[in-house]
Amino acid sequence: MSSAFLYTLVGLGLFALGLYALIVHAHLLRKILAINVMGSGVFLVLVALAKRTGEVRPDPVPHAMVITGIVVAISATALALILMLKLTAKTGHARLPDDQRESR
């Protein structure tokens, strides 16, 4: 197995872990972390697949996409975090209010 496919599988694993955490956690900060992990997984898959060029240097287009993606991800994260703080200030809980599960 080439290292490109190794990292692709790691990226898939990260995406799956993040998705699972996004579904099961109620706390919004955890959900934001989960989305970030999912994003890292997607980036990893993109860049790993760009490395399938053999001996020559990897395809730079996914690289450029991921660079902008990282910067956009942090700005979206910042917006999400501030939204979460706003919600917490209103309701006292960092959870979505329509969360009906009794045990949590």
Partner 1 sequence: METITLLAWAFDSLLGLGLLWLAWQSLASPDLFKAIVLFFAFGLLMALAWVRLEAPDIALAEVAIGAGLTSALLLAVLAKLRATEINDDTTEPLENVEQTFRSFQWFPTVILLLVVAGLSYTVLSLPPYATGLSAEINTNIENSGVRNPATAVLLNFRAYDTLLEMLVLLIALLGVWSLNGAVLQSKTAPGLVLDTLSRLLAPMLILVAAYLLWVGAHASGGAFQAGSILGAAGVLLLLAGWRLRPALTALPLRLMLVAGPAAFIAMAVFTMMIEGQLLEYPKQYAGILILFLEIAATLSIGTTLVALFLGGRPSNNFPSNDFPSKDEEHK
Q: How many CA within 13 A on the CB side of residue 1?
A: 9
79: left (phi > 0), else alpha (psi -120 to 50), else beta?
A: alpha
> How far does CA 24 lie from the centroid of its chain?
15
Interface positions, 45-74, toward partner 1 (CB under 8 A): 45, 47-54, 56-68, 70-72, 74
State yes or no: residue 96 binds partner 1 (CB under 8 A): no
CB of 82 to partner 1, least distance (A): 5
CB of 38 to partner 1, least distance (A): 10
State yes or no: residue 3 binds partner 1 (CB under 8 A): yes
State yes or no: residue 100 binds partner 1 (CB under 8 A): no
State yes or no: residue 35 binds partner 1 (CB under 8 A): no
Nearer of residues 15 and 98 to partner 1, judged by Cβ: 15
Give the x-and-dash track for 12-31 against partner 1 (CB under 8 A): xxxxxxxxxx-xxxxx-xx-
User: ∠22-49-76 over CA atoms, to 5°?
Assistant: 35
Smallest Cα–Cα separation from 30: which of 73, 68, 84? 84
